[in-house]
Structure formats: structure tokens, C-alpha cells
């Protein structure tokens, strides 16, 4: 299946060459890959930038999202509203950058298949401090099957990973770049999806317009599509509605909103494996599941056809409409804040002992 190349997902070749020889820019005691546009200390300085994936031609495009306060949740008047979408509450979030697109297979496989290190070794390029760092981060066990289930790879969204896998990708990306990436919180995700709107979708309340903005059951022909093919939301984010539902950091807590009517940077730190939250709906969902405010919890059935026991900590064989995108907060949290909030999750996920 041939597709039109989307140059915006790739760096210009000249830049790619610089990246390939990034040791020129990175000193040994500094494990940050230099990307001038990624540097900002204030919200005003935040720019869109492309995060290069060293030793590949790939980059992850990031969009600045200003901090602010918004009404999280769904008004009772909204069609198809579920009880867990309320009560509406006032939420403040700090500024962050967010992936313009869902993470694609090409990007995901750099981590899961170590495409960067394979290529570096084939070309006899010495390891950078960042290469040393990513070496210590776990990667998924080799799958038994084509995890794209015949729907396409490359610029199609990566799917069927557990939240643990998505979190580990972020950990890898942070080590690989020297910048802190993570999954968005549920609040950050909804803030970015609404993009200043209060309606069911970021373009209004009319599901008949969904075809312009989203891949979903009625138009997807039973498969996901390459990222960025539909119109973006007002803040320039693509596929927030549909294509694949996206992991966020939170545990699914049905009455979470009522616990704090007014809160800053909320996060329901996960303490059980199920349910955790995906947002935005996917190619196999109906319009009501694509609404900005809808909340979906994961379940064990997402692993149903995994023929192995114990089932894998990396794969959700049946969650073929679930992927993720990354965020990077403007102010990187301290090690303590990461340990006690942003990176905190339980139970610990370990592969069966070798």
C-alpha cells in the first residue's frame, strides 16, 4: 500500500545529517540533544518544534499549549453524556507541549525494535551519552504476531500497547533526548482536545461534521488511518477525536471530578491495572465515544486473544483502536515530584523472570 509521503513528519535531510552526527553538539557531560526551538523558560518563549529521534530520519512534532483554567467535564444537557463526565469542575493546568499527532509505528518501533541502535551499529557510529542512557530502559518482549494486524505501519498510529508500554516509551524518549516526556494527564488531554471550546466536539455539537475531523466507525473502513489526514482542532492538534483512542496517565475513577470542584494539575495516580483511561475514541467507535468529555476505562478483555499465560505486560492484543501521544511540560518536575506524582504507578510491571 503506497501512500503520499508526508514530509512534515520527517526532518529535512540536512537536519537529519546533523542529527546523525549529533556528538558534534552534545558534550560528554551533557546528555541533552540540542534542539534550539525546544528551549524555553517561560510560556512566552514556547515555540512549536520537531523532536528529532537520533540515528533515524524521524522527528516528533510538538505544539505549545499555553497554561490556563477550563471547565472540565460535560454539561448535563449534552447528548449521550455519561454520569462519570460530571460534575463539571474548574481545572487549571500548567503549560506544556503536546504531540501534534498520535505516535506513529515508525516512531514507536525505534524504541520497541531498537531501530536507532541497529542503524548506529551498522554504521559504526560511536554511542553518545544518550545511547548509554537508553540502553538501560526496558523494551517489549518480541511479539508473536504482526501487532499492526495488517492495517499498515510507518505513518499509521501505533496501537495495542498497554499503558505500561506507552509510559516506558516516554521514559525512553526522555533519556534519548534529554527532555522530559510523559503521557498527558486526563485533565491536560481534555483541555487540549477542547482547545477553548465547551461543545461536544472541538468543532461544535454536530456529529455530521465528524467526517472532516475524525476517523471513526462509519468512515474508517474498519482500520486506522495515517495520522494528520483530517482537519486539526483550533490549537493545531490532529486526530484528537477518533483514529485511535489515546492513553492518559490516570486511573479511571468514576467520581473523580466530584472529589475536587476546583483543582490544579489533577492526576488520579494508578494503583490497579484496570481500569485506566483512554480518551478521544478510535476508528471502531461511534460518534458519542469521540466527544471531548467522554471517558473510557480499559479492561482485561483487551487482552482476550493473547494465547499466552501469563499474558504480556506490553501488549493488548484486542485494543486495536488504542494508541497515545506524548506531552512535555514547560517546567520539568523534580526527581521527587516525578517519583511521587508524575511517574508514579502501581502495581509494578515486570516481565516473568528469565
Asked if 92 and 263 touch (Cβ cutoff 8 Å), the reply is yes
Q: Is residue 153 close enough to count as binding other proteins by CB under 8 A? A: yes
Q: What are the cell numbers at 285?
A: 467507535
Q: Which of 36, 126, 310, 347 binds other proteins (CB under 8 A)?
A: 310
DSSP 24-35: GT--TT--PPP-
Q: Which of 28, 44, 123, 309 binds other proteins (CB under 8 A)?
A: 309
CB 267, min distance to other proteins, A: 25
Q: Is residue 347 close enough to count as binding other proteins by CB under 8 A? A: no
Q: Which is nearer to other proteins, 19 or 187 (CB)?
A: 19
Q: Which of 14, 28, 44, 122 binds other proteins (CB under 8 A)?
A: 122
Q: Is residue 212 close enough to count as binding other proteins by CB under 8 A? A: no
CB 351, min distance to other proteins, A: 11
Say how many CA atoms lie within 13 Å of 67 toward its Cβ.
Answer: 14
Only one of the segments 4-12, 110-118, 130-138, 199-207 lies at the binding site for other proteins (rule: CB under 8 A); that segment is: 110-118
Q: What are the cell numbers at 310?
A: 501469563
Q: Is residue 308 close enough to count as binding other proteins by CB under 8 A? A: yes
- Interstrand relation of 59-65 and 276-279 (parallel, antiparallel or unpaired): unpaired
Q: What are the cell numbers at 190?
A: 481534555
Q: In Å, how far from its chain's centre is CA 322? A: 10
Taking Cα atoms as reference points, which of 221, 152, 163 lies closest to residue 349? 163
Q: Is the dihedral of CA 154, 159, 164, 170 positive or negative?
A: positive
Q: Is residue 21 close enough to count as binding other proteins by CB under 8 A? A: no
Binding stretches for other proteins (CB under 8 A) = 1, 109, 113-115, 118, 121-122, 142-146, 148-151, 153, 217, 221-223, 284-285, 299, 301-302, 304-305, 307-310, 318-321, 352-354
Amino acid at each position: 500500500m503506497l501512500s503520499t509521503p508526508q514530509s512534515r513528519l520527517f526532518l529535512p535531510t540536512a537536519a537529519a545529517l546533523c542529527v546523525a552526527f549529533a556528538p558534534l553538539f552534545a558534550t560528554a557531560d551533557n546528555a541533552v540533544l540540542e534542539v534550539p526551538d525546544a528551549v524555553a523558560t517561560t510560556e512566552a518563549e514556547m515555540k512549536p518544534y520537531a523532536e528529532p529521534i537520533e540515528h533515524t530520519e524521524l522527528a516528533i512534532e510538538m505544539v505549545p499549549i499555553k497554561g490556563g483554567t477550563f471547565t472540565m467535564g460535560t454539561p448535563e444537557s449534552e447528548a449521550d453524556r455519561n454520569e462519570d463526565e460530571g460534575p463539571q469542575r474548574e481545572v487549571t493546568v500548567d503549560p506544556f507541549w503536546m504531540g501534534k499527532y498520535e505516535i506513529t509505528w515508525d516512531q514507536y518501533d525505534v524504541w520497541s525494535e531498537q531501530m536507532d541502535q541497529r542503524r548506529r551499529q551498522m554504521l559504526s557510529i560511536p554511542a553518545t551519552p544518550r545511547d548509554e542512557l537508553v540502553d538501560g530502559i526496558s523494551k517489549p518482549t518480541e511479539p508473536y504476531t504482526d501487532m499492526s494486524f495488517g492495517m499498515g505501519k510507518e505513518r499509521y498510529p501505533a496501537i495495542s500497547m498497554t499503558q505500561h508500554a506507552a509510559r516506558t516509551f516516554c521514559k525512553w524518549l526522555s533519556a534519548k533526548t534529554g527532555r522530559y516526556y510523559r503521557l498527558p494527564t486526563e485533565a491536560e488531554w481534555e483541555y487540549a482536545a477542547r482547545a477553548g471550546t465547551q461543545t461536544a466536539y472541538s468543532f461544535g455539537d454536530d456529529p455530521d461534521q465528524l467526517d472532516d475531523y475524525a476517523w471513526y466507525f462509519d468512515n474508517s473502513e474498519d482500520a486506522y488511518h495515517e495520522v494528520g489526514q483530517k482537519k486539526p482542532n483550533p490549537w493545531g492538534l490532529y486526530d484528537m477525536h477518533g483514529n485511535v483512542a489515546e492513553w492518559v496517565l490516570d486511573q479511571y475513577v468514576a467520581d473523580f471530578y466530584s472529589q475536587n470542584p476546583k483543582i490544579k494539575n489533577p492526576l488520579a495516580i494508578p494503583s490497579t491495572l484496570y481500569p485506566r483511561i483512554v480518551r478521544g475514541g478510535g476508528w471502531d467507535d461511534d460518534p458519542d465515544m469521540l466527544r471531548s468529555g467522554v471517558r473510557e476505562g480499559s479492561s482485561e478483555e483487551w487482552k482476550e486473544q493473547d494465547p499466552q499465560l501469563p499474558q504480556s505486560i506490553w501488549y493488548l492484543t484486542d485494543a486495536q483502536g488504542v494508541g497515545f501521544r506524548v506531552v512535555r511540560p514547560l517546567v520539568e518536575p523534580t526527581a521527587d515530584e516525578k517519583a511521587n506524582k508524575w511517574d508514579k504507578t502501581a502495581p509494578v510491571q515486570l516481565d516473568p523472570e528469565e
